[in-house]
Structure 1
Amino acid sequence: MKTRLKFLFLLFIAFGARAQELLPFVENFTKSQYNGDNQVWSIAQGDDNAMYFANNHYFLRYDGVNWERYALSNNTIIRSVFVDGDKVYTGSYNDFGYWKRVAGKMVYTSLAVDKKYFSESDNEEIWKIFSFGNKLYFQTFNEVFILDKKTNDVEKVKFPYQISYCYVAGNEVYVATVRHGIYVMRDTKFIKKERWLAIEGDVIHNIESFKGKIYVFTKNKGIFVEESGELIAWNNPVNNRLKNDIVISAKFVGSDVLAIGTGLQGLYLLNLKNNTYRNINRENAIKNNAILSLAVDKENDLWLGLDNGIAHVEINSPVEVFSDNSGIVGSVYALYTMGNGFIFVTNHGIFTYRDNQLQPIPNSQGQVWDIYKHDDRFVIGHNDGTYVFDGTELRKINTVNGGWKFLKSDVDGVYYQSNYSGIARYKDINDLSKYQILPGFTKPVRNIAQNKPLELWAADYYRSFYRITFDADFNVRKIENISRLNGIENDYGVKILKYRNELLFLINKTWYTYNSISGKLVKDPVFNAAFKNISDIIPVDDESFIVQNDELLYVITQSGNQFKWELIPEKYYQGKVIFENTKAYKSGDVIYLNLDDGFISYKPKGNAAKQRISVEGFYNGDLITDDTSIKYNQPVELHVISQYFGFNRPNLYYRLNESGDYLRVNRGHLILNNLSGGTQNVSIYSFDGKRYVKVTDYKFYVNVPWYFSIWMVLIYIAVIAAIFFFYYRWNRFRTNQKLELKEEELKHQREIIEIELSRQNELNMQEYEKHILELEVQTKSSEVAGKSLSIAKQSEMIENIEKILDSEVNIGKLKSEIKKVIKFNSLNKHEWESFESNLSQIHNEFIKSLSRRFPQLTSKDIRLCIYLRMNLSSKEIAPLMNISFRGVELHRYRLRKKLGITADVNISKYMLGI
């Protein structure tokens, strides 16, 4: 019940209030933005394309990026502004003059103060400035000052009566008096328009010439047109309305538009081709209904000077806007044209807009997703089911809820509907109560497409997309999760585009097509090369589509093998695009796009306007010139200025010093921070969808910090040179020290070597002496051995002689002699002593070692050990020890026991081992 009452309340509001219209885009500027006063009395555009405003106490300049505010020295009110060449003329209280731009600032020069054109008793204001011929006219309500542009002479002419304004129309200057009709001013003479009686008694607020006719705009009587020398009321439907709305200003724009500014109902835009009009006022676009001044810029767009603020109305833009300022409509999800109006569906229900009236359709409240037009009927996908609207009545046809897309098959002639719980099929568009639900596939399906019989492609609301094949009775044959089968993990929000009968899939900013032979997705080389970093795709028709790239929308058309990108500027939809729920509807050559507060219409223009971009740099609020000293690491402000304010204003990018990414220029305003020293080059680019095209460069110089100045660099060089010098000296000193130390070391090494050589020599000498001694020992050993052998032989000989002598008993004398000899030889004591002495010297170490190990050995035992070490036999040892052979054997036996060795050990080898 509450929902129904709420809807009835909305319905009452919709009928009770004037509905929103499809209107030109309006950009409003409040006094807090331009930092000025309320009223804007006059507007003009300069040769530099900047807009100039007479704003009460202030003179304003706007270049599309920055507002500048100036005031006269006496702070008087500025009533009028007019541009002639590079001078901007203004009129104020008892003064008029011109402004020129010098070093980024507007500088004023008075033409009246020094000449004393006004006396102290005068109380005049220059309400209008205009040009006629070679002269400029500065008009008050009582007189006009005429400046000859060649001689700079000023002539003062008094009007015959108090006037409202002067107007130039055709080849005449018309002077509109307050109560005495209209005069034509020729030189300094005034000729009354005697036959223009219809407008006497009313205030004239404009006189315009259009297509050879003179139009007179009155404050309260409407518009008159001159016919055969007389004024007659203009035959136009809007004329009666204007009589109550107080006409203040008017301009013919182009060949078929008349703009009329009123004091009570804002702006009227009249289409002179079909005699229709649109009213732009506070209810739908502008912030104030009192339009004090009106101007046409070089794009044929309008600038409105309001009683409180400024408005820019893009009447020449291919984009128009339908915005819901009341909140009744809500977010629009789909729309269609319906006769001369529209039907659109929103999260609040279904609405029609016909005859300038917004009407919610009863019993349609709730979330609505989709519209499909068939003949004169509309199939509507609603949260509660599927509806049909025939232009008069809304009927619920079935309970298939959440119909996101209603698709007419180009392949098999039936209709498919994606919805909250899967896919429905309709065979008869005229009887939607009969339908089939695809069995075994209960998923929320956002989008569907088809290019082959008995096959559907379905994109899940959240992630994945599917290839579904079925039979003629809509029974599922196979359901394939294509993204999973191809190993694509990030498959959220899959987009399907049917373009020229080919299906393309946008998955995570990569384009794919399906290869039916391999059953695999294949990256599409053409689309991946042409459309990188695309976040959304919006189908339009078989020959065009819209892509979203970097939050910007581009209309894509194809010519041959080339894609053409046409930007829809962001200002028309900024922050209003319903992501993944944006739909495009094309009617004729106009494309409609839904937004979260309405929709826009766009009529592609084709060729983009040529751009002329200028850049102004400011440092500490002053224009940067060649003489500007910019400190290191200080911010620099750049104004990237276009000649356009409306649709043709480009979307620009920049790079600093030709490095880094291309960054967007936000509304023509750049702040550069952390700048290094030296020449800085800011390059400005436009983007045509395929490439960045440089349009201009701006260079300026940033001072290097004091610690990098030329003097400091010289100091650094000197310090570095000194450091290197002292380092060289210190290094040289250290090198010399090292050399001295090295020499000292070498000297010591030589001494050490000499000592070592001397020691080595001594060692060699000792070795030599040792060798000599060893030779001597060997010689003595040989001698000992020889003598030992000789003694042994002698002993043997003596023994043999004794044996012979003993056998020869009869020979007495011989025996006696031989015995004497033997006795002599055997008793050669000196020879034995020498033998024993040599024997002890040769085996001294052996004797010491033997005595240490076996201290119980006697000298006789030691002598036996020496003979054994000399490898002498018992037979050879016996005479040396002067004992018998058996005595030697007995002695050897006793020696074994003392040494503790057994009979199986070779005693001579044992002695050699000691």
Structure 2
Amino acid sequence: MKLRFQFLFFLLFSLNLFSQELLPFVENFTKSNYNGDNQVWSLTQGGDNAMYFANNHYFFRYNGVKWERYALPNKTVIRSVFAYQEKIYCGSYNEFGYWIRENGVMRYYSISKDKDFFKDSSKNEEIWKIFEINGAIYFQSFNEIFIYNEKSIKRVAVPFLISYCFVIDSKIYVASVNKGIYLFNGKDFTYIEKWGVIANNVVHSIDKNSDEIFIFTQKNGVFVEKNEVLQAWNHPINDALKSEVIITAKFYQKDKLIIGTASKGVYIIQIDSGEYININRNNRLYNNSVLSIAVDKENDIWLGLDNGISHIEINSPFRIFSDNTGELGTVYSIASTPKGYLLGSNHGVFTYENKALNIIPNSQGQVWNVAAIDGTFVIGHNDGTFLYDFKSYRKVNSLTGGWQLKKDNYQDRYIQSNYIGLAFFDDKNDLSKHKRLNTVYRPIKDFVQTGQNEIIASDSYRGLFKINYDDNLELKSYLNLTQKNSIKNDFGVKIFKYKNDVLYYINSEWYYLDSVTDVLKKYDLFNQNFRNINEVIPIDDSSFAIIKEGLFYIINQSKDKFSWKLIPKKYYEGKIINQETKIFKFNNQYLINLDDGFLQFESSKNDFTNQKVEIEAYLKGKILTNEARIPNNQSLNLHFVSEYFGNKKSTLFYKLNNQDIIPLPDGKLILNNLASGKNRIEVYFTNGFEFIKTDEFTFTVLKPWYLSFWMVLLYFTLVGGILFLYYRWNKIRYQEKIKLKEEELKHHREIMELEMEAENKLKLQDYEKHILEMQVQSKASEVAGKSLSIAKQSEMIESIQRILEEEKNINTVKTKIKKAIKSNAINQREWENFEKNLIQSHEEFVQKLTNTYPELTSKDIKLSIYLRMNLSSKEIAPLMNISYRGVELHRYRLRKKIQLNPDESLSKFMLNL
């Protein structure tokens, strides 16, 4: 028993050692972020709202989006920076001057160059501090002070070793090293006798709060002068500070003090209440050694560290609880207690009270829900249901995985959803007694009562179910609503009760249920405003939260409009628990569970602030002016620079060329593949109801070089030249074609003439041949006729000779001779055949003759044929069986019929016809 007690004591003690506080948001920048050295000796905010840093060999500018790194011309170590008006004064080794921003780049101008300030005993001076009084700039080293008033530089040697100078009420207090504090009037140093008590201390800061002057020594804590009396600061933390090494300190608001130490980080102290927080490497800072402090226009704190830079949003309404040890784990549920909070995580149940985190013994394991009932907390645990009443932690039943515990709206009892369904507790004082809905054995994660004895529940994986039961908790009906309504994708259904409506978010659509028909109908109001969100998180009856495109919004309704209060992403980035994010509202505080703690903020203080945002455009590292003209196919880097760094810096949105408005959480945008022509970027922030335009940048993307004016002109010239050459070439070619055509026509004509000539010759030859053939035929006919005649005559002569030889009787001879003559004469048929052949052999002639002279008779035609055959009248007479005179008479009549002149030859006419 004693051993167990010692173990519990050790466990509690060890957790207290690593206890965490609700701390403001701290943004850390390491040398890998700004690409510089370790130590940041000094920092200041310029009139342009940018922060400037002295980082050993580098001078840095940071506007919330972009880090700019510069070095002095002589590459020496930079110890101090100070902003006054538009200049950033800079102190270095044997050098001081100022920086001015010109054309988007910081330019350095030396004040000390060629002044011979740093020689002899002053040849190793470093300017550790810069300040201003009445328009004059003071540069302070450990041995000298240089006063610069734009016209001249005054060098003042200090008779003692300086730690630092401090300005209070326009007076310069010079803290020596172990020799007390002096007043400096620009010429002389006056020792302050009343502060002699700290003469042997190294003073690292002097500041004033109300009517009290605070002096911060390096190793002896803080002293306060009030009513002309300097004494040790009467504050509990002062004893702790005496064991610390104070490096720097500053009041940032009335009664609010920052103290930077060498090894314990920074203390932020509320003077009037005595409360303080210590931010160090164990909880937020990247490094515990604070070298410099600055307060920006939002009264937030900037720390220059021995290794890095930190920005503390001390005035932000957001506070973060993070367990850096890993003991807490992922938080799933939070409940408020009189002294703090009760946290349910995957590692168990923890109390957070008096800035201390402690695990409740024996509560280890997955905790899903912590619900309060009359001061007692019901724990929905992976191992069952437990009760915690600040005195004991005990298991009350074996119902595992209690996701939710809700009061029954119709009876005095409670309902729990868990791994195996729904459980009903009739006695809130005895949760060991419970009843379950019979036959409903499935993990139910969320549920809502929609009527007496009616519950709508969602499975932990998929599905939406309507459950009806009787007064004895006997199941009456169990309807899968998503199946009934043919909704196939029903994974991760969200049940959301808003005011008097119960809504269901299924597959990126909002529905409500018609309880009569069990039909899921689309809910237009929410579908118009909250489609395609990642998550919806109930808060209370009048507000809820959504996560959309990675951004967290608190939604409130004002009449028919919804207010979208955006929580800056930097407070929860990478820590949201998917599907398990919840918002717990206690009084006026919102708490959001995270994977290593929780985020707390006051809803009334999360107001929107109008802010000035400037768009800086860079092309290849060079800043562009508005209406700039940039080459085609170049990447344009756009920085959206707010005047704020902290909570007032709203998440920005941008719109390119009247397209949709897109979130811009990191303030940077790279545009590629821009279309040629005029482009416009507009930047907005939201006040919850509408987007407010705060700046715009217009630029023109030039056409590609190959589409520039001169190139287009060249193209037109080339095309014109090509067209002209083509035209000339075509013209020449056309002319050549014409010539060729003419030559072709000439040759064709010649060929045609030759062909016609040849054809004519052929025709003439054919004609002559035809004439010859006709003549041959005529001669053949003539020969045939003569041959026939000769043959007949020969036969007749032979017949007569034979009669004469055979017959002796004269009468008989006469008779036989007559008979022979008659028999050997050409018969009529033979003549007809002869005439027919004669006509056929001269058919073409006969046809032409009859067509020309249709009045001619057959005898006229025969005569014409004989004449064409060039026969004489004497030769024609026997062929026509007429006398010679008869032929002549017939020829005369034929001449008349064809009306032939007397001078023309009838035979020649017939030959030429």
TM-score between both structures, scaled by the size of structure 1: 0.77
Query: What is residue 338 of structure 1 aligned with on the other side?
Result: 337
The letter for the 1-side match of 2:698 is K
Kindly provide the CA deviation profile for residues 598-657 of structure 1, in whole angstroms up to 9, marking residues without a partner as x: 111122225311121112222222223589874431222222211122222232333443
User: Match for residue 108 of structure 2?
Assistant: 108
**1:260 partnered with 2:259:** yes
Match of 1:601 in 2: 600
1:328 alignment partner AA:
E
Q: Which runs of 5+ in 2 are unaligned?
A: 753-827, 837-913
Question: What's the CA shift for 1:177?
Answer: 1.6
Q: How does 1:315-394 map to 2 (within 5 A)?
A: 315-394=314-393
What does 1:44-123 correspond to in 2, within 5 Å? 44-122=44-122, 123=124
Q: Kindly tell me: are residues 138 and 317 of structure 1, through their superposed partners in 2, closer, same or farther at Cα, counting changes over 3 Å?
A: same
Q: Does structure 1 residue 462 correspond to structure 2 residue 452?
A: no
3-state SS of 2:139 partner: strand
Task: Output one character per residue of 1:668-724: Cα deviation in whole Å (capped at 9) or x when no partner.
Answer: 222222234444433333355665544322233444333112221112112333455
The range that moved more, 164-173 or 583-592, is 164-173
SS in 2 for 1:288: coil
Q: Which moved more, 1:496-505 or 1:570-579?
A: 496-505
Conserved 8 A contact 1:410-1:451? no
2:227 counterpart residue number: 228
Residue in 2 that maps onto 1:40: 40
Instruction: Output the CA distance in 2 between the equivalents of 1:218 and 1:393.
Output: 49
Q: Taking structure 1 as reference, are residues 475 and 170 closer, same or farther at Cα in structure 2, changes over 3 Å only?
A: farther
How much does 1:90 deviate? 0.8
Deviation of 1:740 after TM superposition, in Å, equals: 13
Are the counterparts in 2 of residues 39 and 307 from structure 1 also a CA contact under 8 Å?
yes
The structural deviation recorded for 1:242 is: 1.2
Match in the other structure for 1:413: 412
Distance 1:331 1:701, change over 3 A: same
- Is 2:695 aligned against 1:696? yes
Cα deviation digits, residues 440-471 of structure 1 (max 9, x gap) = 21111111122432222211101111122222
- 1:632 maps to a residue whose letter is N
Rounded to whole Å, the distance in 2 between the matches of 1:124 and 1:393 is: 67
Query: 1:234 Cα shift?
Result: 2.3
Q: Distance in 2 between matches of 1:117 and 1:157?
A: 11
**Structure 2 equivalent of residue 130 of structure 1:** 131
2:555·2:563 contact (CA, 8 Å) conserved in 1? yes
Q: Distance in 2 between matches of 1:315 and 1:501?
A: 40
| Residues 499-543 of structure 1: per-residue CA shift (max 9 Å, x gap) | 223211111221122222443222222222222222211111222
- For 2:40, the aligned partner's letter is V
In structure 2, distance between residues paired with 1:706 and 1:15 = 68
- Secondary structure of residue in 2 paired with 1:125: coil
Q: Which whole-Å CA distance do the structure 2 matches of 1:742 and 1:380 have between them?
A: 108
User: Counterparts in 2 of 1:746-765, with a 5 A limit?
Assistant: none
Structure 2 residue 140 is the aligned partner of structure 1 residue 139: yes
Letter in 1 for 2:81: V
1:190-224 CA distance string (max 9 Å, x none): 33332223323222121112123222222222222
Alignment of 1:399-478 (within 5 A): 399-478=398-477
Q: Which residue of 1 aligns with 2:174?
A: 175
Q: Are the counterparts in 2 of residues 411 and 450 from structure 1 also a CA contact under 8 Å?
A: no
SS of 1:592's equivalent in the other structure is strand
Equivalent residue for 1:634?
634
**Equivalent residues in 2 for 1:830-841 (5 A)?**
none
Q: Deviations over 1:708-745 (max 9, x none)?
A: 12221112112333455567778899999999999999
| Counterpart position of 1:621 | 621
Cα offset, 1:89, TM superposition: 0.3
Counterpart for residue 758 of structure 2? none
Which amino acid letter does the alignment assign opposite residue 582 of structure 1? T
The residue that corresponds to 1:189 in the other structure is: 188
> Secondary structure in 1 aligned to 2:406?
strand
Q: Tell whether the 8 Å contact from 1:530 to 1:690 is kept in structure 2 after alignment.
A: no
2:515 is aligned to 516
Instruction: Please state whether the residue corresponding to 1:491 is helix, strand or coil.
Output: coil
- Which amino acid in the other structure matches residue 132 of structure 2? S
TM-fit CA distance, 1:259: 1.6
2:390 alignment partner AA: G
SS of 1:483's equivalent in the other structure is: helix
RMSD, aligned CA: 3.2
Instruction: Tell me how far apart the structure 1 counterparts of residues 480 and 729 of structure 2 sit (CA, whole Å).
Output: 79
Match of 2:580 in 1: 581
Residue by residue over 1:409-434, the C-alpha shift from the partner in whole angstroms, topping out at 9 and shown as x without a partner, is 34433211110010111122211111
**Residues 584 and 639 of structure 1, relative CA distance in 2, 3 Å threshold:** same
- How far apart are 1:664 and its partner, in Å? 3.8
Unaligned ranges ≥5, structure 1: 752-828, 838-914
Cα drift, residue 255 of structure 1: 3.5
- In structure 2, C-alpha distance between the alignment counterparts of 1:690 and 1:728, rounded to whole Å: 67
Structure 1 pair 516/372, CA: closer, same or farther in 2 (3 Å)? same
Aligned to 1:244: 243
Quick one: distance in 1 between partners of 2:410 and 2:731? 94
Deviates most, 396-405 or 180-189? 180-189
Query: Which residues of 2 match residues 819-834 of structure 1 at below 5 A?
Result: none
Separation in 2, partners of 1:726, 1:505: 75
The aligned residue for residue 805 of structure 1 is none
- The one-letter code sitting in structure 2 at the alignment partner of 1:132 is I
**Counterparts of 1:338 and 1:531 in 2: how far apart (Å)?**
34
Counterpart of 1:217 in structure 2 is: 216
Q: Is the 8 A contact 2:18 2:325 kept in 1?
A: no
Which residue of the partner structure matches residue 756 of structure 1?
Answer: none
* Cα distance, 1:472–1:129 mapped onto 2, change above 3 Å: same
Q: Structure 1's 452 and 216: CA in aligned 2 closer, same or farther, altered over 3 A?
A: farther
State how 1:293-308 maps to structure 2 within 5 Å. 293-308=292-307
Following superposition, the deviation at residue 53 of structure 1 comes to: 0.5
Task: Output the CA distance in 2 between the equivalents of 1:81 and 1:374.
Answer: 58
Mark the CA change 1:734 to 1:433 in structure 2 (over 3 Å): closer, same or farther.
Answer: farther
Q: Percent identity?
A: 47
Equivalenced residue count is 749
CA distance in 1, matches of 2:555, 2:270: 30
Displacement of 1:485 = 1.8
Q: Distance in 2 between matches of 1:580 and 1:693?
A: 32
1:673 aligns with 672
Are the aligned partners of 1:454 and 1:470 in contact in 2 as well (CA < 8 Å)?
yes
Which string of whole-angstrom CA distances, capped at 9 and with x for unpartnered residues, describes residues 804-855 of structure 1?
Answer: xxxxxxxxxxxxxxxxxxxxxxxxx99xx9xxx9xxxxxxxxxxxxxxxxxx
1:14–1:358: 8 Å Cα contact kept in structure 2? Answer: no
Give the whole-Å Cα distance in 1 for the aligned partners of 2:693 and 2:531: 20
Q: Secondary structure at the match of 2:291?
A: strand
Query: Is the Cα contact below 8 Å between 2:569 and 2:665 reproduced in 1?
Result: no
1:118 to 1:30, Cα distance in 2 relative to 1, 3 A: same
SS in structure 1 opposite 2:710?
helix
CA-CA distance at 1:335 after TM superposition? 1.3
Contact 1:81 1:90 in 2 (8 A): yes
How far apart, CA to CA, are the structure 2 residues paired with 1:551 and 1:633?
31
Structure 1 residue 254: Cα displacement = 2.8
Q: One-letter code of the match for 2:116?
A: K
Q: Distance in 1 between matches of 2:517 and 2:741?
A: 82
Conserved? CA contact 1:407–1:448, under 8 Å:
no
SS in 2 for 1:534: coil
Check conservation: 1:372, 1:378, Cα contact below 8 A.
Answer: yes
- Distance in 1 between the 2:442 and 2:248 partners? 60
Output the CA distance in 1 between the equivalents of 2:245 and 2:237.
13
Residue 169 of structure 1: how far off its partner (Å): 2.0
Residue 235 of structure 1 deviates from its aligned partner by: 2.4
User: Larger deviation: 330-339 or 694-703?
Assistant: 694-703
Contact 2:143 2:157 in 1 (8 A): yes
Give the distance between the partners of 2:8 and 2:731, measured in 1 at CA.
Answer: 102
Aligned partners of 1:371 and 1:614: how far apart in 2? 47
Q: Partner amino acid for 1:181?
A: G
Q: Which residue does the alignment assign to 2:720? A: 721
Deviations 1:541-583 (A, max 9, x none): 2221111111111011122222111111111111211111111
